[in-house]
């Protein structure tokens, strides 16, 4: 339950692993946040177009695609995001260069991830 001075965040959660997504959604929702879950790039971009999200938590690898098109959409809207991934640093560096933003390794504490991007 949130207190009257806590902000409810509208969070985009992009995760293709069902159990990880379920756990993360449960954790974030139990803290009073609204969570929209996407399992693919196309679902995430659709949500971004329909809902004004406050922040996003993104798995980097989504099956045979990466989350980079979603990152571009979020950056253009100035939406803070974090990458939560098991991908190695070389792969992340090759996509983001020297500024990947906030990156957490799996398994992650999604409450901590949210706090980091909503400071």
Residue 3 resides in a domain: no
Residue 14 resides in a domain: yes
pTM: 0.87
Residue 2 resides in a domain: no
> Which of 54, 41, 99 has the alpha carbon at shortest distance from 81?
54
- Residue 98 pLDDT: 52
Average pLDDT estimate for 93-117: 80
Q: The CATH number of the domain where 109 resides is what?
A: 3.40.50.2300
Q: How many C-beta atoms surround the C-beta of residue 45 within 10 A?
A: 16
* DSSP letter, residue 52: -
How is residue 24 written in tokens?
């993360």
Average pLDDT estimate for 7-18: 93
Q: What is the pLDDT of residues 37-75, one digit of tens each?
A: 999 999 999 999 999 999 999 999 998 999 999 999 999
């Amino acid at each position: 339950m949130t207190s009257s001075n806590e902000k409810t965040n509208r969070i985009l959660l992009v995760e293709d692993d069902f159990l990880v997504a379920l756990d993360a959604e449960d954790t974030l929702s139990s803290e009073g946040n609204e969570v929209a879950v996407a399992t693919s790039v196309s679902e995430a971009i659709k949500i971004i177009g329909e809902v004004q999200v406050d922040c996003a938590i993104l798995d980097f690898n989504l099956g045979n695609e990466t989350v980079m098109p979603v990152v571009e959409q979020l950056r253009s809207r100035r939406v803070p995001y974090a990458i939560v991934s098991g991908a190695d640093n070389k792969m992340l560096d090759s996509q983001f260069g020297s500024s990947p933003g906030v990156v957490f390794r799996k398994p992650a504490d999604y409450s901590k991830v949210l706090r980091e991007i909503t400071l």
